[in-house]
A = this chain, B = another copy of it.
Amino acid sequence: VLEMPNKKDVSTAVVHRLARYYRCLLDMKNRGVGRVSSKILAEVMGLTASQIRQDLNCFGGFGQQGYGYNVDNLIHEIAVILNLDKGHTAVVVGAGNLGHALLNNFNFARAGVRVAGAFDTDPKLIGTVVGGVTIRAIGELEPFVQSYRPDIAVLTLPRIHAVPVAELLCQAGIRGFWNFTSADLSLPSITVPVENVHFSESLMTLSYRL
């Protein structure tokens, strides 16, 4: 039996690719695909088959030579590696246009995350329900985090408020930030992981390809 590597040993690039595998495999499953070769997965993902075998062998190698990967099994194994089976919960901080777009359209459940609450300063928004989640006053955020211990704060608030709110949430016990603002949270006062969403990088990649 091969051992799963220590979490610390897996590079960021591999983790990003695992997330891409997961998304592609879910799409395949939804189209009724039950088994996939590394060759086909490579074509879909724009990688080489040997890269894929190397990545998946990192985690014990779920494939069989000449037989391919069982899609369901692979989805399950990657979910375990990425902690998608942990029942993580999130609060959405800022229910403006971007917060609304995420609450209404983003499939948090597909990434294994449940939205436990959403918060805004706008009195017109407080009390309304967006994507099944009631918007609460920002003043309730800190006691909510202390009481319910959500794992993730989704930062969709104005950039200028991002740092003080993130510091407050760290103190209150949040475990990680999904940061949609352009604020830089790599500060000594922010002691938990931050995943920044940088739209501009993907737009620049497209520019290159035009």
- Residues in chain A within 8 A of chain B (CB atoms): 7, 10, 12-13, 15-16, 18-20, 22-23, 27, 46, 81-84, 86, 88, 96-98, 100-102, 104-108, 110-113, 151-152, 175-178, 182, 184, 193, 195-210
Contacts and interface: CB of A to CB of B under 8 A. Distances in A.
Contact of A16 (B27, B108, B201): B201
A198 to B, nearest CB: 6
A177 B198 CA distance: 17
Contact of A100 (B97, B182, B199): B97
Contact of A110 (B46, B82, B200): B200
State the oligomeric state as a number of copies.
Answer: 2
Nearest to A201: B19
Contacts of A107: 182, 200
A97 B104 contact: yes
A142 to B, nearest CB: 20
A83 B208 contact: yes
Contact of A98 (B27, B98, B108): B98
B111 A203 contact: yes
Given A88-B210, A151-B210, A209-B176, A204 B105 contact: no
Contacts of A96: 101
Contacts of A207: 82-84, 86, 88, 111-113, 152
**5 smallest A-B Cβ distances: which pairs?**
A195-B206, A97-B101, A98-B101, A19-B204, A19-B201
A199 B201 contact: no
Contacts of A208: 7, 10, 15, 18-19, 81-83
Contacts of A196: 202
Contact of A210 (B20, B152, B182): B152
A201 B20 contact: yes
A122 to B, nearest CB: 14
A198 B20 CA distance: 9
